[in-house]
Chain A
Amino acid sequence: MERKKTKKWLIGVSVGIVVILLLCTFLSRSIYSLRLQTVETSAVRTGELTISSRTQGEAVYLDKDLYSFPVPLPVLEVLVTEGAMVKEGALLARVDITECTLQLKQLNLAVTQVRNQLNAEGLTAADRSALQTQLEIAQEEVALYQKQFPANGEIVAASSGVVSYVGGSEGQSVTAGESIIEVIPDNAKQYIVFSLYGEEGEKYPLGSSVNISFVEESKTVTKQAVVNRVQYNVEQKAYVFYTEADREWNLLEGRTVDITVVLSSDYYQIIVPLSALSEGADGSGIFVAEAYSGLFGEEYRVKFYDVTVLAQNEISAAVEMKDTFWATTVVSYTTGPIYDGDTVKVTGVLS
């Protein structure tokens, strides 16, 4: 009997709680709708936002023909000067390969000796195999050594182009690995290389516009290009940008130019109360409204995005939200605090 009473009591309490919760649900929706903040706005519209950074860059050729050798070679004669146009196959310089030839002779001698040993009679299979291996190694050494210096001591142009650098002079010996001559081929691409550090460099992806300014015949000329390649230099913590330049600009290698890198994006102008923006003024976060079709019709939901404030003046701020730029216009008046997921009523039309 008591158990039945307890059960009836429990049922009653449960039903009561369910009814109260249902009532609260409907009541809270009505109260919330009354409490919605009304924000005055002009039409929410799209536009274009531009951010830019200034720095200096250098004109470089990345695909040069470098005439350098892994052995030191005395220079006998240099037949070209910097800036000279050369054709494919043209003789550029002569170097002394006497020592290299002697060394090569010694290596060839070693090959001959091994070959003679191999041709001897009475060799076991194991000996023959060992000698064969020795011969192959010796022949490889000869082939490798032959590549280390120019045949006949003549440096010949591999392609037509312009001599950009002459490193050796007559009578001097060029150290191993250093360029004797550098030629920029006719079809080589010129790049403008510039760096941006840290967060500033992060902003600009491939395809960002680059304005390249330089002085030509006492006039400042500005050319436009785009970022073709981006690399990150770990040591300097810098983003290195490569922009392909037009050779008709006649920029000599190493020429310093002024760079303005620009990025434009669509933005959506929306209204955010002043209190919302000020909470994110340090760049850590901002509230952004987006169109949302809610239970109460067309509404604008205010959501919290982790963004970076790129630029800010007294009335507006440009923020970057992932790959999209959003501009927010701060309204002069404010209402209560806004939290993630809150909905605000906006008077205006999304166009």
Chain B
Amino acid sequence: MKSPVMVRKKISHAVIYLVLTLVAVVALFPALFTVANSFFSEAEILKSYGGTEVQFRILPEAATLQGYAEVFLLSPKYLQKFWNSILLSGSIVAGQVIVSCLGGYGFAKFRFPLKNVFFYLLVILMLLPIQVTLVSNYIVLDAIGLIGSYWSVILPGVFATFGVFLMAQIFSGLPNDMLEAAKLDGANQLRILLRVVIPSRKMGVASLVILSFIDNWNMVEQPLVFLKDSSMHPLSIFLSYINSGQLGIAFVCGVLAILPVLLLYLFLKDALVQGIENSNLK
């Protein structure tokens, strides 16, 4: 005979699982919907979404790879946008890791005049929305002649403040004894950073990589404002240009946009959780 406590526990577990399942379904539905509709033919998409009444459907009547053929084989412009996104996001992430590690180590382990003032300025800048700094960025980039080149998007991204803040929090948890020991062994500051600090906090660096990549993969304002040539635009902008006559292609491009982020997350999800835990951000 089951005790009332056990029964109550089972019921509460069941309710929790039900609620979590519902939340998971709601969260996953857009992605599932995109993937499922990428196998619809153009005719079926028009039939479902082109009329006055919209019919949401997950299962196609006749699955087809027509959209995939168009995006991956028949027209190079979609993949060109994809590689533009990879170039921009990858460059920004790589640069940001370097700058953030150096800046974060400086804030975490060094004392210098007005350190707190600079740190608070950093936090304030981090909290400002991107639209606020867009105009000033444009003026500066125009003055140095970078408007229209990839550098106009990469450079402001590399020097973003969130990475410095995150790495400062992550490195501040490192015991100073480790650094003293390395100093005694004759290592200079750069060597300490590269051989001691970063390897011991590589999960934090990995969390920066994934957060930064997600943020920059979806960027819209900077490329739209700084890149005049539409052939240089990333996939995130291109997705908004696809008109209602090409919904099938829009779904396939959506799948294409999901892929890198999904793979990166699967690769680094443990690092993301550990990195946030170690950063004392909770």
Given contacts A27-B73, A31-B74, contact A10 B266 (CB under 8 A): yes
B150, CB-defined interface residue at 8 Å: no
Cβ contact of B76, chosen from A7, A13, A17, A28, cutoff 8 A? A28
B202, CB-defined interface residue at 8 Å: no
Binary contact track B243-273/A, C-beta < 8 Å → 1, others 0: 0000000000000000100010011001000
Contacts of B77 in A (CB 8 A): 341
| Interface SS of A by simple majority | helix
Given contacts A10-B263, A10-B266, contact A25 B73 (CB under 8 A): no
Binary contact track A8-51/B, C-beta < 8 Å → 1, others 0: 00110110010001001101110110010000000000000000
Tell me the complex Cα distance, A11–B72, Å: 22
Tell me the complex Cα distance, A110–B83, Å: 91
- B73 near A14 with CB under 8 A, answer no
Cβ contact of B263, chosen from A14, A24, A31, A341, cutoff 8 A? A14
- Residue total for B at the interface (Cβ-Cβ under 8 A): 16
- B263 near A17 with CB under 8 A, answer yes
B136, CB-defined interface residue at 8 Å: no
B276, CB-defined interface residue at 8 Å: no
- A25 near B79 with CB under 8 A, answer yes
Shortest beta-carbon distance from A168 to chain B in Å: 64
Tell me the complex Cα distance, A233–B118, Å: 60
Q: List 8 A-B contacts (CB under 8 A).
A: A3-B270, A7-B267, A10-B266, A10-B267, A14-B267, A17-B263, A21-B72, A32-B74
Which A residues lie at the B interface, using CB under 8 A?
3, 7, 10-11, 13-14, 17, 21, 24-25, 27-29, 31-32, 35, 341
The 10 A-B residue pairs with the shortest CB-CB distance, nearest first, are: A28-B76, A24-B72, A25-B79, A29-B76, A14-B263, A28-B73, A10-B267, A32-B76, A10-B266, A31-B73
Known A28-B72, A32-B76, A35-B74; 12 more pairs at CB < 8 Å = A10-B263, A10-B267, A13-B263, A14-B267, A21-B72, A21-B79, A21-B82, A24-B72, A24-B73, A24-B79, A25-B83, A341-B77
